[in-house]
Chain A
Amino acid sequence: MRTLGWIAINGFRESVRDKVLYSLVAFAILLMGTSYVLGQLTAGQDLKIMKDLGLSSIAIFGLFMAVFIGIGLVSKEVERRSIYGLLAKPVRRHEILLGKFAGLALTLTVNIAVMTLALYAVLAYVGWGENQFARQAREVPALDPALLKAVALILVQLMMVTAIALFFSTFSTPILSAGLTFGVYIAGYFSQDLRNFDQVVNSRAAQVLARGLYYVLPNLSPFDVTSQVVHGLPVTARYMAVTIAYGVVYIAMLLIAGATIFSRRDFK
């Protein structure tokens, strides 16, 4: 367990010293500042677009971080041969994989926390200038704590993507892993369509296949509660619990599969 912690901290340290990551986060924050300007074009919907753009930025930049760091976690070690030095130490192979995942999860959490703070800062700036009547006229407050729920779900979704990227990288090259991960990500958003396949297509075999695919592919759209949060609709604790539980189970499944592959592999 302690070795897992060491590997995780080291992974986190690697990302902290990576300049590309800083640029991504800086760009996301810049985008949120820009949303303030964009908000002036929306006929009073400035808070809406700021929240929409803010949450979308967090999701997109988080996605890029998750994929590009995730695919490199394993392959960089193997390619550069630093895995030789690492495996000579008393660590088990699956500890390496889990430690790397934990490190990236920590990286994602920290970066997303920074971006969320920036979003709240911009929203606070807008809300600060408003008088009492304008504030009352708003359906949803500017500094809405429900935004945190949306961010939490985005974070869990990103950890699923990380697990997918990590899984692919245990056996394929970085470029292929990136392509596959993005492909699965997009398919995951369309998976709702697969569920309703039986209403569109008549072939029984196709329906069974579609249903099967629906359950296997990660179902990502429930993690996007931007619309609810922006319009002030409730996101219940039970919804959060069920959705997050699904995410955790899916992540565990992928990590176990990935660890198994990683443990049986030859490092040429």
Chain B
Amino acid sequence: MPLAIETIELTKDYSVGFWRQRSRRALDRLSLQMEAGEVFGFLGPNGAGKTTTLKLLLQLVFPTSGEARILGRPPGDLSAKRRLGYLPENPYFYDYLTAEELLTYFGGLLGLRAADRRQRVSKLLDEVGIGSERHLQLRKFSKGMLQRVGIAQALLNEPDLVILDEPMSGLDPLGRRDVRALILRLRDRGCSVFFSSHVLSDAEALCSRVAILSKGRLVASGRLSDMLAFSVRGWELVVADVRDDVLAAIATRVSRAVPLGGGRFELEVPMATPPEKLLADLTATGARLVSLNPIRETLEDFFIERVKQPS
């Protein structure tokens, strides 16, 4: 199976300044690989070079050096673009067109025949939840609705690879849930999904592979499961009906005790202390167990640690 996306030492310098041609390196020798059929998260703080990478892949800008391949073809290749769907960040399309007209236009550019086009446009608009608004001009659309139109136009050609740039930005929780469900649906269909984001919890939930970019450099990449040891750092124990003297007694064995009100406490138990023993001691005093959960290292911890490292 060919790689969905591959970059080899991809570099982009921008020349800054009118007379003095200084150059700013936006992307420094990026090498990454994305397998077909997986969900790949492209992460990094703002200004890290994520958008630059996407632009290089779509041939919106030209590389200073290095190579890129998208669905096995060089960027800008028309046959690759035919199997590709792209959702830009903060999408703006033509505000004098209606949603339906926009999709019909893009369908025409994709080479869809009239009947096929009409059917797909209608189906996709239903899928993303745009009903009668499809006859309104896009300038009347809210941000969330524009995002949905953007998703619709990205899926118009039933692509093998979908590239999403900050797909959750500006969406309410309902919208984000929908997008998340969509990405999973696409994966189940066998579509490769490449998305860039700075919302790590989404990446954690969806991706099988991630790459982390910082200041134009790749600081980590690989399978999520490999990167995070998924080691348990400790436990979170929530108990009720704890008497004050009991609390004082166990104070040394927990790292933190947060009162939740009404006699409940959230106790953070370090690795060293076996939680079963602590729990037994507490219940013996009359306390009740509410919940017990492991605390794992998160992607956010990993991210902050890597990004903070001096490059």
A interface residues with partner B (beta carbon < 8 Å):
2-3, 6-7, 10, 13-14, 17-18, 80-92, 264, 266-268
Contacts and interface: CB of A to CB of B under 8 A. Distances in A.
B163 to A, nearest CB: 8
A85 B62 contact: no
A2 B60 contact: no
Nearest to B154: A88
A85 B61 contact: no
Contacts of A13: 96-97, 101
A14 B109 contact: no
A82 B78 contact: no
**Shortest 8 CB-CB distances between A and B: which pairs?**
A88-B86, A266-B61, A90-B81, A84-B88, A6-B108, A90-B78, A89-B109, A17-B96
A266 B60 contact: yes
Contacts of B88: 81, 84-85, 88
B72 interface: no
B91 interface: yes
Interface string B130-169: 0000000000000000000010010000000001000000
A268 B61 contact: yes
B153 A84 contact: no
Contact of A90 (B91, B111, B150): B111
B109 A92 contact: no
A181 to B, nearest CB: 23
Given A84-B58, A266-B62, A6 B105 contact: yes
24 contacts: A3-B111, A6-B105, A18-B96, A81-B92, A82-B93, A82-B94, A83-B60, A84-B58, A84-B86, A84-B88, A85-B86, A85-B91, A85-B93, A85-B150, A85-B153, A86-B109, A87-B59, A88-B86, A89-B106, A89-B109, A90-B78, A90-B109, A266-B60, A267-B61
B93 A87 contact: no
Interface of B: 14, 55, 58-62, 78-79, 81-82, 84-86, 88, 90-94, 96-97, 101, 105-106, 108-111, 150, 153, 163
Nearest to B153: A85
Contacts of B93: 82, 85
Nearest to A267: B60
B18 to A, nearest CB: 13
A8 to B, nearest CB: 11
B89 to A, nearest CB: 9
Contacts of B94: 10, 14, 82
Contacts of B59: 87
A229 to B, nearest CB: 37
Contact of B62 (A14, A17, A92, A264): A264
Given A81-B92, A84-B86, A267-B61, A89 B81 contact: yes
Contact of B81 (A6, A84, A88): A88
A10 to B, nearest CB: 6
Contacts of A89: 81, 106, 109-110
Interface centre among A85, A266, A267, A268 (most CB of B within 10 A): A85
A5 B96 CA distance: 19
Given A84-B86, A267-B55, A91 B109 contact: yes
B156 to A, nearest CB: 9
A86 B102 CA distance: 11
B289 to A, nearest CB: 53
Contact of B92 (A7, A80, A91, A264): A80
A158 to B, nearest CB: 23
Interface centre among A14, A18, A264 (most CB of B within 10 A): A14
Contacts of A264: 62
A86 B105 CA distance: 10
B56 to A, nearest CB: 10
B105 A10 contact: yes
A134 to B, nearest CB: 49
A100 to B, nearest CB: 13
A17 B94 CA distance: 12
B96 A84 contact: no
Interface centre among A13, A82, A84 (most CB of B within 10 A): A84
A90 B86 contact: no
A84 B86 CA distance: 9
A192 B88 CA distance: 50
B61 A2 contact: no
Given A3-B111, A89-B81, 10 more contacts: A10-B94, A10-B97, A13-B96, A84-B58, A84-B86, A85-B91, A87-B59, A266-B14, A266-B61, A268-B61
Nearest to B90: A81
Given A84-B60, A90-B82, A92-B78, A3 B109 contact: yes
B262 to A, nearest CB: 52
B111 A2 contact: yes
